[in-house]
Amino acid sequence: MMRVVRIREFCLFDEMRNNGEVRAPYHLVAKWLDDIGLDLLSVRAEEAEAIFRRIGITFAVYGEGGDPERLIPFDLIPRVLGASEWDRLAEAIKQRAKALNAFLYDIYHRREILRAGIIPERLVIENSAYLPEMVGFDPPGRVYSHVVGVDLVRTGEAAFSVLEDNCRTPSGVSYMLENREITMRMFPELFGDGKVRSVDTYPHDLRRTLEEVAPPACTNSRPAIAVLTPGPFNSAYYEHSFLADLMGAELVEARDLEVHEGRVWRRTTRGLDVIDVIYRRIDDAFLDPLIFNKESVLGVPGLMNAYLSGGVTICSAPGAGVADDKAIYTYVPDMIDFYLGEKPLIPNVETYKLSNPDDLAYTLDHLDSLVVKEVAGSGGYGMLIGPRSTASERKLYAQRIEKDPAAFIAQPTLDLSTAPTLIGGEIKPRHVDLRPFCLVGKNVRLTPGGLTRVALREGSLVVNSSQGGGVKDTWVLAKDPS
Partner 1 sequence: MTRLIVRHQTIYTYVPPGGRAAMRLRLFPTSYATQEIGTWQVTVNETAIEPSYRNACAIPEALWAHDGPTNEVSIIATGVINREEDAGVIKGLKERMPRGVFLRRTPLTTADSAVEALADDIKGDTVLETLHALSAAVREAVAYTSKSTSMATSAAEALAQGTGVCQDHAHVFIAAARHLGIPSRYIAGYYYAGQDEDLSETHGWAESFVPDLGWVGFDISNETCPTAAHIRLVCGLDADDAAPIKGLINGQSNETLKASVAITSSSSQSQQQQQQ
Positions touching partner 1 (CB under 8 A) are: 109, 111, 121-122, 125-126, 130, 132-133, 135-136, 258-260, 262, 289-291, 301-302, 305-306, 308-309
Report the DSSP beta bridge partners of residue 341: none
For residue 347, give every residue at least 6 positions away whose Cβ sits within 8 Å of its Cβ, in sequence order, or none: 3, 4, 5, 161, 162, 333
Residue placing its CB nearer to partner 1 in the complex, 126 or 358: 126
Report the DSSP beta bridge partners of residue 439: 147, 445
Q: Concatenated DSSP letters for 81-128?
A: E-HHHHHHHHHHHHHHHHHHHHHHHHHTTT-HHHHTTSS-HHHHHT-T
Residue placing its CB nearer to partner 1 in the complex, 246 or 290: 290
Q: CA torsion sign, 380 to 151 to 432 to 173?
A: negative
Residue placing its CB nearer to partner 1 in the complex, 30 or 125: 125
- Neighbouring CB atoms inside 10 A of 406's CB total 15
Report the DSSP beta bridge partners of residue 196: 477
- By DSSP bridging, strand 418-423 and strand 426-435 are antiparallel
Report the nearest approach of partner 1 to the CB of residue 331 (Å).
Answer: 17
Angle, in degrees to the nearest 10, between helices 237-247 and 173-186: 70
Report the DSSP beta bridge partners of residue 342: none
**154 φ, ψ to 5°?**
-125, 135
Is 252:215 a contact under the CB 8 Å cutoff? no
CA angle 106–338–94, rounded 5-degree value:
85
Report the nearest approach of partner 1 to the CB of residue 255 (Å).
Answer: 10
Give the CA count within 13 Å in the CB-facing half-sphere of 397. 26
Residue placing its CB nearer to partner 1 in the complex, 181 or 258: 258
Alpha-helical runs (H) found in 254-346: 303-308, 326-329, 332-340
Task: Report the distance separating Cα 480 and Cα 82, nearest Å.
Answer: 6
CA dihedral 466, 470, 473, 477 (to 10 degrees): -90
Report the nearest approach of partner 1 to the CB of residue 125 (Å).
Answer: 4
Report the nearest approach of partner 1 to the CB of residue 112 (Å).
Answer: 12
**18 φ, ψ to 5°?**
-125, 120
Report the nearest approach of partner 1 to the CB of residue 140 (Å).
Answer: 15
Is 142:320 a contact under the CB 8 Å cutoff? no
Report the nearest approach of partner 1 to the CB of residue 291 (Å).
Answer: 7
Residue type (1 letter), 289:
P
Burial of 449 (0-12, 13-18, 19+ CB in 10 A): buried
Angle, in degrees to the nearest 10, between helices 27-55 and 173-186: 110
Helices (H) and strands (E) in the chain, counts: 12, 26
- Label residues 226-248 b or e (16+ Cβ within 10 Å = b): bbbbbeeebbbbbbbebbbebbe
Report the nearest approach of partner 1 to the CB of residue 308 (Å).
Answer: 5
